[in-house]
Amino acid sequence: MINIPDSYFSGFVDGEGCFYVGIVPSKFNKNGFQIITEFHVSQNPRGRIVLDQLKNRLGCGYIKPNHKASTDDVSLVLVVKDNKDLKEKVIPFFLKNPLISGKYQDFLKFKETVELISQGEHLTDQGFKLILDLAYSMNTTHRRIPKGVILSRLKSSQAIR
């Protein structure tokens, strides 16, 4: 087995990784939404060894097909969803081995989001709105649910209470 240095993993994630914060509808939460935090890094099947070794280095996550429904995309993705693993393993790794591209700013927002969730702030209206702002300032401006729709639903759920 090849011994891959941590700096290589950091560069690899800089190019192929994603720190994701999603806001999705949920009938189980009083405000109607759930916050999802995930770390992803993808690679074609020939590069699976890198995903395997990064998974082993982090000590968490799982590898799966990136897009099961697509026959054209055969890439694989390493996924870490567990907030404890994100907080105790993924975030410390990238604090010690920082990203150098613009993705570093997304990482810092991701880190703040994971910390807010760990403190239970996502359960408060103010904390949820802060996380919403962080999420919608990350990665891309293309989201399935426009921020305004979420805010209007939050206002209507607050009026009902």
Phi, psi dihedral angles at 5 (to 5 degrees):
-70, 150
pLDDT of residue 142: 67
Q: Using CA atoms, how far apart are residues 97 and 72, in angstroms rounded to an integer? A: 34
Domain boundaries, the chain: 6-145
CATH of 6-145, one of 1.10.1070.20, 3.30.460.20, 3.10.28.10, 3.40.50.300: 3.10.28.10
Contact 51, 100 (CB under 8 A): no
Please give the full DSSP string across the chain, using - where no structure is assigned. -----HHHHHHHHHHHEEEEEEEEE-TTSTTSEEEEEEEEEEE-GGGHHHHHHHHHHHT--EEEES-TT-SS---EEEEE--HHHIIIIIHHHHHHS---STHHHHHHHHHHHHHHHHTTGGGSHHHHHHHHHHHHTSS-S--SS-HHHHHHHHHHHHHH-
Q: To 10 degrees, the CA torsion angle through 93, 23, 67, 44?
A: -20
Per-residue pLDDT of the chain (161 residues; tens, 9 = 90+): 678 999 999 999 999 999 999 999 888 888 889 999 999 999 999 999 999 999 999 999 999 998 777 677 789 999 999 999 999 999 999 999 999 999 999 999 999 999 999 999 999 989 999 999 999 999 765 677 888 888 888 766 654 44
HSE on the CB side for 114, CA within 13 Å?
Answer: 24
